[in-house]
Amino acid sequence: MRLQIQQTQDGSHTLYWPERDEHYHSVHGAVQEARKVYIQTALIPAMEACSATGGSTVRVFEMGFGTALNACLTMQQAMMRKMKVEYTVIEAFPLPEDIWSRLNHPALLGIEDTVFQAMHRQAFDARGYEISPFFTLAKIKGDLQTAVLPDSRFNAVYYDAFAPSVQPELWQADIFVKIRRSCALPCFLSSYCAQGQFRRNLKAAGFTVERLPGPEGKREITRGTVL
C-alpha cells in the first residue's frame, strides 16, 4: 500500500491512500474526529457505565489500528480518569516504521515518543502488554472477516474500517453479528459511517442504533448500543 502523510485542518496528520482515493481520518481534523466519534461516543459512555456498576476495567476493541491515533487518545483518557483500559486491535496491514515514525501524533498530543514507538513496535501476538499504568494493548494481525473474536468481552467497539465504497466486505451483516457476540453488557459501538445499510446491519445484529451529530465536516455518525 503506497501511503502519503497529509496534514488535516486541526494540524494533525492523516494518511492518504492514492490508489483508492481514501484517507485514514477526516481531512477536517483527524484528532477532532477521533475525539468525537470514538472517545466521546463510545469510550466515555462505556467508562461511565462501568464505573456506575463498580467496574474498574473497560475493554475496547478497535477495527483497524492504523496510525494508533485512537489508541493514543484512549490511553490519555484512561490515565486522566485513572480507569484501566484493555485495548485490543485488529490490523491487516500494519504501517511500516518509515510512515508511523513521521506522524505528528506524539508531539501534538503530548505523548512521549518512546510510548508511541512501543505501541507500533509491539508484536502482533494477541497478548496484552502494559503501555502505561492504566492501559494495556493487545494487537492481532489479521483480517476481521476471518478473525475469531472472544465472546462477551468488549464494552466499547471503534468501528474504523475504510468506507463501505472502498471495502464493502467489511460492512456486511455477518461482521456485525460476530461483533455483537463479542460485546459484553453494556457495549457502545461507534463509527464515523452514517450509511443506511450499515445501520440496518447493526440493528439486525441486535444493536440499538442512534444517529448522532458528527464532528466538523460530517453531519451524522452512528452508535450501536447493547445494554
Ligand X SMILES: C[S@@+](CC[C@H](N)C(=O)[O-])C[C@H]1O[C@@H](n2cnc3c(N)ncnc32)[C@H](O)[C@@H]1O
Cell 466486505 belongs to residue: 169
User: Going by C-beta distance under 8 Å and a sequence separation of 6 or more, which residues neighbour residue 100?
Assistant: 67, 68, 116, 120
Q: Strand 208-213 to strand 220-226: parallel, antiparallel, or no bridges (unpaired)?
A: antiparallel
The rounded distance, in Å, linking the Cα atoms of 104 and 171 is 30
Q: How far is the CB of 81 from ligand X (least distance, A)?
A: 20
Nearer Cβ to ligand X (51/145): 145
CB of 51 to ligand X, least distance (A): 25
- 95 vs 78: CA distance, rounded Å: 25
Residue 71: CB minimum distance to ligand X, A: 7
Closest residue by Cα to residue 24 from 56, 57, 69: 69
53 versus 146: smaller Cβ distance to ligand X? 146
What residue ranges bind ligand X (CB under 6 A)? 24, 64, 66-67, 69-70, 90-93, 143-145, 160-162, 167, 170
Cell numbers representing residue 55 in the block: 467496574
Of 86 and 91, CB closest to ligand X: 91
**Residue 23 or 55 having the CB closest to ligand X:** 23
Could you tell me the smallest distance in angstroms from the CB atom of residue 65 to ligand X?
Answer: 6
